[in-house]
Amino acid sequence: SQQGEEDPQALSIQEGENATMNCSYKTSINNLQWYRQNSGRGLVHLILIRSNEREKHSGRLRVTLDTSKKSSSLLITASRAADTASYFCATDSGGGADGLTFGKGTHLIIQP
Amino acid sequence: DAGVIQSPRHEVTEMGQEVTLRCKPISGHDYLFWYRQTMMRGLELLIYFNNNVPIDDSGMPEDRFSAKMPNASFSTLKIQPSEPRDSAVYFCASSRRREAFFGQGTRLTVV
């Protein structure tokens, strides 16, 4: 069964705007990861946030984690056409990469 | 490193035929995962290995599916016999710690 559920399912914004995607999960986690998938390609790891962290930054990416609400958000600032992709959150409840559980993803379209 | 390598990239087969998907993980990674992606069900974990040993195969949909990892540098996912509902993109991923590295996937079409 799916652990993470992304919201919205699809998002279309203008280039230069910020894009925010959300992820909700059901059970306790050790960490949460975000991945990007370009059409026809494999998933690429973007960022990992541990359960004891509340916010993390990487370049134009900002991830927040609220374990009390079992939710996370991914913010992409100053979006670019190349950011067009599907974005997935993945949760890890085990001690390592024990079978990451993915949501169905948010399809992000950046319009030039 | 060339990353996770999957073959073939595309496979079209007739219902009832045997299909074998192949994966070469990144050298030094001790976890290997097989995922299936469809529009309806999203990305599903089928099975994963740790140090070549299958740890959890609860995601394998039926006995028609089997996976092996004879050594640290090779794994196969076999479907026998294949059915049209098996049509999907199958991904292999490997990991050493927490970040998973995905291959480009095999797009399987069963007609």
pLDDT tens digits, A16-65: 999 999 999 988 888 899 999 999 899 999 999 999 999 999 999 999 99
CB A96, CB B96: distance < 8 Å: no
Q: What is the pLDDT of residue A1?
A: 40
Contact A45 B100 (CB under 8 A): yes
d(CA B97, CA B16): 38
Of B42, B56, B102, the CB nearest to A2: B42
Length of chain A counted residue by residue = 112
d(CA B37, CA B88): 6
- For B77-92, what is each residue's pLDDT tens digit? 999 999 999 999 999 9
Among chain B, residues having any CB pair with chain A shorter than 8 Å are 4, 31, 33, 35, 42-43, 45, 48, 55-56, 91, 93, 95-105
Query: Is the pLDDT higher at B16 or at A93?
Result: B16
Q: What is the mean pLDDT of residues B19-41?
A: 95
Give the residue on A whose Cα is nearest the Cα of B33: A99
Query: β-strand A106-111 against A10-14: which pairing, if any?
Result: parallel
Contact A105 B42 (CB under 8 A): yes
Contact B93 A42 (CB under 8 A): yes
Q: What is the mean pLDDT of residues B14-32?
A: 96
Q: What is the pLDDT of residue A77?
A: 97
Instruction: Name the residue with tokens 């599903």.
Output: B44
Q: What is the DSSP string of chain A?
A: ----EEE-SEEEEETTS-EEEEEE-SS--SEEEEEEE-TTS-EEEEEEEETT-SEEEETTEEEEEETTTTEEEEEE-S--GGG-EEEEEEEE-SSSSS--EE---EEEEEE-
- For A66-91, what is each residue's pLDDT tens digit? 999 999 999 999 999 999 999 999 98
d(CA B52, CA A91): 23
With bands split at pLDDT 50, 70 and 90, how would you rate the model's confidence at A2?
very low
With bands split at pLDDT 50, 70 and 90, how would you rate the model's confidence at A7?
confident
According to DSSP, the residues that pair with A9 across neighbouring strands are none
pLDDT at B106 over 80: yes
By percentage, how much of chain B surpasses pLDDT 90?
A: 83
pLDDT at A4 over 80: no
Mean pLDDT over the full length of chain A: 90
Contact B104 A41 (CB under 8 A): yes
Of A42, A99, A104, the CB nearest to B103: A42
Contact B100 A31 (CB under 8 A): no
pLDDT at A96 over 70: no
Among chain A, residues having any CB pair with chain B shorter than 8 Å are 2, 31, 33, 35, 40-45, 48, 88, 90, 92, 96-105
d(CA A103, CA A89): 6
